[in-house]
Amino acid sequence: MRSNRTDSPRKKVASEAACLLYTSQEKEFKQAKLKAAGALGIRILPSNLEVALELDRIADEYEGKTRAQRLIQMRTEASEIMACLTDSSPKLIGSVWRGTAHKNSDIDIVVFSSNPRLVIDRLQEAQFRILRTEQVSQTSNGEVEDSYHVYVGLASGNEAEMIVRDLEERDREQACEIYGDVIKGLGFAQLKKVLEEEPARRFLPERIKVQL
């Protein structure tokens, strides 16, 4: 998408990896970095944060004002979904919470329930369209985590992913592998307040805001 011959090797890989993520050629930061480094013949890998900063710049460059409008739309849609899942302590996380969503982002909502079927039933009762479900095992911060995922298709063309976790995990803090802080997210009431007061607000560590 763009190239600067004066960029350092790390910056070049970060930029190329961000392009791969933005164009959906890769979905995970790790694979995007490895593929970018291989294509460029560079052995140095940037941090996830460096890639995220490049991805943010690319999204701003290509989407302009529509990016903020899309973010507000997706947060509104998240609020509508969370309204029918209040008994499962829903929390908006991911790029829509952060405020860094771009045209290929989806809505990530974590909910807590001992029975994923109850979550599916609530969504169907509210007339949301279930696209698919799956059991997922993944490694996060060195630990293997199991969760049940429910994917919902929205009239806007956006997609929402419900990550169903066990009730016992509700108060467990999780570190963000990109920004290094704790993933706090937004509960239903918090999200409503953000939409009323500052709908495009970003939730990033102060040290990161300086770099954007």
- CATH number, domain containing residue 161: 3.30.460.10
pLDDT of residue 47: 96
Cα separation, 167 vs 61, whole angstroms = 41
pLDDT of residue 7: 79
The residue out of 47, 63, 79 marking a domain boundary is 63
Residues 23 and 114 in one domain: no
pLDDT in tens, 79-100: 999 999 999 999 999 999 999 9
Residues 48 and 144 in one domain: no
Contact 84/150 with Cβ under 8 angstroms? no
Residue 182, SS3 per DSSP: strand
Partners of 107 in the β-ladder = 160
Residues 173 and 82 in one domain: yes
**Phi-psi region at 36: left, alpha or beta (left = phi > 0; alpha = psi -120 to 50):** alpha
* Higher-pLDDT residue of 169, 150: 150
Q: Whole-model pTM?
A: 0.90
pLDDT of residue 145: 73
Q: Are strands 159-165 and 129-140 parallel, antiparallel or unpaired?
A: unpaired
168-196 average pLDDT score: 94
Helix and strand element counts for the chain (H, E): 8, 6
Residue 3, pLDDT above cutoff 90: no
Residues 22 and 89 in one domain: no
Domain that holds residue 17: 9-63
Contact 88/118 with Cβ under 8 angstroms? yes
**Alpha-helical regions (H) of the chain:** 9-22, 29-40, 48-63, 66-83, 94-98, 116-125, 188-197, 206-209
Mean pLDDT, rounded, of the chain = 92
Q: Is residue 1 part of a domain?
A: no
Query: Torsion angle, CA of 42/46/51/57, rounded to 10 degrees?
Result: -80
Residues 52 and 112 in one domain: no
Residues 115 and 163 in one domain: yes
Q: Is residue 4 part of a domain?
A: no
Share of the chain above pLDDT 70, in %: 92
Residues 82 and 183 in one domain: yes
pLDDT in tens, 35-77: 999 999 999 999 999 999 999 999 999 999 999 999 999 999 9
Cα separation, 28 vs 23, whole angstroms = 12
Residue 148, SS3 per DSSP: strand
Counted domains in the chain: 2
Contact 136/149 with Cβ under 8 angstroms? yes
